[in-house]
Amino acid sequence: MLDTGAPRRAPSPEADDHVEPLMPFPLDPARLRAVRRRRPTPPDVRHHRIAATALFAVAGAVFGSWASRIPDVAAGAGAGATALGLALLCISLGALGGMQLTGALCARLGPGLAGVAAAIAACAALTLPGLTGSIPALAVALLVFGAATGTLNVAANAIGVQVEAAAHRPVLPSLHAGFSFGGLAGAAAGGAAAAVASPAVHLLVVGTLGVLATAAVAPVLLAADEEQAPDRDDPQPRSVPRGLVVLLGVIAGCTAFGEGAVTDWGALHLQEVGAAPALAAAGYAGFSLAMGCARLAGNRLVHALGPTRVVTGGALLATAGGLVVASAPDVGAVLAGFALMGLGLANVFPIAIARAGAHGGAGGVALASTVGYTGLLGGPPLLGIVAEAVGLHVAFATVAALAAVAAALAVPAFGGAAHVLTTARAAAHTALHRHTAQLGVLHAQLSTT
């Protein structure tokens, strides 16, 4: 055979040892870590909403379980009305401290990671009050519990605004329904457990179940954070209209005052009017059931009536319920009053927080939530002080009064303020265009002369 081409190179053993690498880059540890840090597939809106609802439900179950065992925990610590009110103040102080940090945590780590960590911390802190046997120990336990639950509440609302932004429609009322039904389940289980288990055992079981539920939805919440990670790497400061956001927070706080009153004092008030312990625990359960049902319809109500009417009408209904609770000596009437309060208060808080998020983003959510939860957490200690002086009947009249204040503030916050702001902007743009046109005409006249 003739060799007409270039000589072929015979394969050598050395060539067999040289194999081209299959990887497009060297296998160094830094690149491998970069591969492992690749963002997971972001969740769709449906799964994100389910995970957020579950987190709200965990928060509600934790709070409802605590509310159902307050009389037992107070009796174990030897706390009267004034001492219990001061101990409950520690929840407020701890929560407000945690809330001050939550906005920065959500911006730095993402709402999902902040919410998951806070939920685990809240479930762990729930076990502490049941282990106390003195008022100082109870105060310390409630300080830790308040810090964890306050952080969880703000982070959960930030997640809710995150879901609303992805869904392009109001969803916060229905997410808060998860909190209400979680509270209902926690209170109902607490009423049943009161006859067979100590607060320590009951709250430990609830905390364990809450951690397991949080772990189940954590991957979805963390994946949603990763989807927005580039925005957090290069944050752009956003101007927050503090006046309007604070006003929305005040509305939320006025109505949250009523929710905190029923949570911490509803069972004791029902016992004072003659209810058995199990029926007294059912008072908060009925309140949560009414609130949860109203929140399930909240999205449709806002679409049909608008936020101003929903907030105003709900606050007025809560005012009527508070007056019934404050004046009725009968157990059935008090339970009906709690149900009216639940129906009325249901959508005020989530609508106010959603509007704050629309105006101010995550900063608006944190600011309005902090102001709003001041009513939820600061109301029970104030109510305890008033109750010591004039009794729980009269103390519950403050709930009706603050709900009426929220109704009065709804028009300027949801209608008037937004309308004035829009009108002012439109007038400014019109004036700017008019002056620009006049300058153009003057310039043309000067050019011709």
Place of tokens 């007056």: 323
Place of tokens 């963390």: 222
Interhelix angle 298-305/277-296, nearest 10 degrees: 50
Contact 254, 402 (CB under 8 A): yes
Q: Tell me which residues of the chain have a pLDDT lower than 70.
A: 1-42, 227-241, 362, 377, 415-449
Q: Which two tokens stand for residue 415?
A: 């209608």
Q: Is the pTM of this model over 0.85?
A: no
Neighbours of 371 (CB within 10 A): 22
Query: What is the chain's Cα-based Rg?
Result: 28
Contact 344, 381 (CB under 8 A): no
- Cα distance between residue 32 and residue 169, in whole Å: 40
Residues 6+ apart with CB under 8 A from 327: 393
Collapsed DSSP state (helix, strand, coil) of residue 9: coil
- Cα distance between residue 66 and residue 63, in whole Å: 5
Q: Of 309, 431, 319, 413, whose CA–CA distance to 368 is shortest?
A: 413
Q: Which two tokens stand for residue 189?
A: 């289980």
Contact 170, 151 (CB under 8 A): no
Contact 370, 154 (CB under 8 A): yes
Phi, psi of 89 (to 5 degrees): -60, -30
- Cα distance between residue 259 and residue 263, in whole Å: 6
Residues 6+ apart with CB under 8 A from 296: 173, 174, 177
Q: Which residue type is seen at 188? A: A
Taking the C-alpha atoms of 92, 94, 99 and 101 in order, what is their torsion angle to the nearest 10 degrees? 160
- Cα distance between residue 407 and residue 352, in whole Å: 12
- What is the secondary structure of 173-215 as a DSSP string? HHHHHHHHHHHHHHHHHHHHHTTTS-HHHHHHHHHHHHHHHHH
CA torsion sign for 301, 51, 373, 208 is positive
Which CATH number is correct for 42-230+240-431, 1.10.3720.10, 1.20.1250.20, 3.40.630.30, 2.60.120.260?
1.20.1250.20
Phi, psi of 346 (to 5 degrees): -50, -55
Burial class (CB in 10 A: 0-12, 13-18, 19+), 110: buried
Q: C-alpha distances in angstroms, 417 versus 147, 161, 247, 352, 355?
A: 33, 21, 10, 13, 12
Neighbours of 336 (CB within 10 A): 17
- Residue 54: what pLDDT? 95
- Residue 315: what pLDDT? 93
